[in-house]
Structure 1
Amino acid sequence: MTVIPSLNVPLLGVAVTPLNRAELLAHIRDAVQEGRQMLVAGHNLHSVYLWYSLPEFRDFYDRAGAVVVDGMPLLALLRIGQRARLRTEHRIGSTDWLDGLADLEGIQRVTLLGGTPAASTAVLRHLRSLGGDVAWQGIPGDPWRAEDVDEVAEEIRAHDPQVLLIGMGMPLQERIADQLAARLDVPVIATVGGALDQLGGTQSLAPRRLGTMGLEWAWRLATDPRRLAGRYLLEPMKLAALLMWRA
């Protein structure tokens, strides 16, 4: 299992691999070409909270080969605590790199798992419009039934992807990634959250400049307050309490 050297995030106590878009895509390309298995995940405050709250979630992240920085608070802590020369490009969400697979050398087959049937169709349409020689497979995952995992594994096996992208939300997507990894031989498995819905246009995608300013959370909260209020307004306080209790 490929593991890229990581940095520890001060105060939060989690490890990340601060890569930019080109570096992450290069690692994915190399893992595929060399036949190495690699898990790709992303850390933000939500995932840090789950890392402390759920042992199986923590285990998944600790085994991941690349855990990119998917949140400006984490990047800011790295810059200060590690005195690392990191730029805003080292904060990358899944929507920042996923479409780069379209013309990545050696990538010929990619499977997308997640979203409603309409969302799955929409993101496939978007990715195929990018050109390139990738054969994209889309499998809806909403609603997800645990008993469907074997059937889904067979669908994926028939496509024989080099990269499997799972966009089901945390911590469900990580659980499914482990279940499928035990059933399949896919070189790269990446958990990508809402990226499939966002790239397909079925979920609002924040302007990129807001991400570099650390305000993407505000955009997402304003566009979907019922679903995200707890994550953005209450969870940071719960995380702070957890960290204080463990100190």
Structure 2
Amino acid sequence: MQFTIKGQTISVNVPTWAGLEARVEACLVDRKGFALATINLDHLVKLNTNKNFRDAYLRQDFVVADGNPIVWMSRLAGKPVQLIPGSDAILPLSRIAARHQVPVAFVGSTDESLQAAKAFLETVVPGLNVALCLSPPMGFDPLGAEAEAVLRQVEASGAGLCFVAFGAPKQEILSAFGREIAPSVGFASIGAGLDFFGGSQKRAPEWARSLAMEWLWRMVNNPRRLTVRYLKCFLILPRQVLQALALRVRKEL
């Protein structure tokens, strides 16, 4: 599945859970860095208006589908992909890191949330070693000197996998920068995932997720922040659907 944005193509290049786990495991075993992004409609909105975000996305090694609309459009395009939310990727990737004794770092969110997530994950994932929890201050520039210092700390900690929890576009921009500064580290952008494990945010209940209604549950619980965001997402849907149909037509020719 691919998207054309400002003349540039961004592809979901890891379509399945099995593929993601295999590719991450190979990188961790070889201590080879990577950047992982989880694309959704909100990202597509931001990619249309933020050049730094587009540049960062083009430098991601792995892109997976985070959001049912992306999955549905992939089926429409005849190139089906599985739903792989960043939050759901934390546990399986942590298990891979633990299995190969690769230390992990947490960057973003708040120190309290990161420490709580560390305590939880080290309990439920035997052998997991969270070597660093780092919460930069508000206004943190993911391309500035502070970002470089953070990335150097991640590298110095010995971490081979770093979960980046800022939200888009900051986390993807930092992860792309990390590929330059700490090339042996894998950076996975996971949004609020660590906050869910740390208990500072509550994820939508299972019934809402199973009905593909997590977005509505979130909007009802935080209308001031999310109503406009989701409206923008709905407004780009027609164009994205047409792009998916065009991909299907080209495939069938």
Decide which moves more: 138-147 or 36-45.
138-147
1:131 equivalenced with 2:125 (yes/no): yes
**In 1, distance between residues paired with 2:176 and 2:69?**
28
Aligned residues with identical type, % of pairs: 23
| Equivalent in 212, 225, 228 of residue 227 of structure 1 | 225
Matched residue, 1:3 = none
Cα displacement (A) at 1:33: 1.4
| Equivalent in 187, 191, 201 of residue 189 of structure 1 | 187
Matched residue, 1:158 = 156
4+ residue runs of structure 1 moved beyond 6 angstroms?
10-13, 241-244
**In 2, distance between residues paired with 1:47 and 1:116?**
23
Count of equivalent residues: 235
Q: Is the 8 A contact 1:166 1:177 kept in 2?
A: yes
Matched residue, 1:4 = none
Matched residue, 1:96 = 88
Any gaps of 5 or more consecutive residues in structure 1?
1-6
Any gaps of 5 or more consecutive residues in structure 2?
247-253
Cα displacement (A) at 1:18: 4.8
TM-score, length basis structure 1? 0.83
| Equivalent in 35, 39, 43 of residue 35 of structure 2 | 39
After superposition, residues 113-132 of structure 1 pair within 5 angstroms as: 113-132=107-126
Letter in 2 for 1:197: D
Post-superposition CA distance 1:154-212 (Å, at most 9, x none)? 42122111111111011111222233333223331111111111221111111244334
Letter in 1 for 2:136: G
Residues 40/217 of structure 1: CA separation in 2 closer, same or farther (3 Å cut): same
After superposition, residues 21-100 of structure 1 pair within 5 angstroms as: 21-82=17-78, 84=80, 86=81, 90-100=82-92
| Equivalent in 138, 144, 151 of residue 143 of structure 1 | 138
RMSD: 2.8
| Partner SS state of residue 124, structure 2 | coil
Cα displacement (A) at 1:235: 4.0
| Partner SS state of residue 178, structure 2 | helix
TM-score, length basis structure 2? 0.81
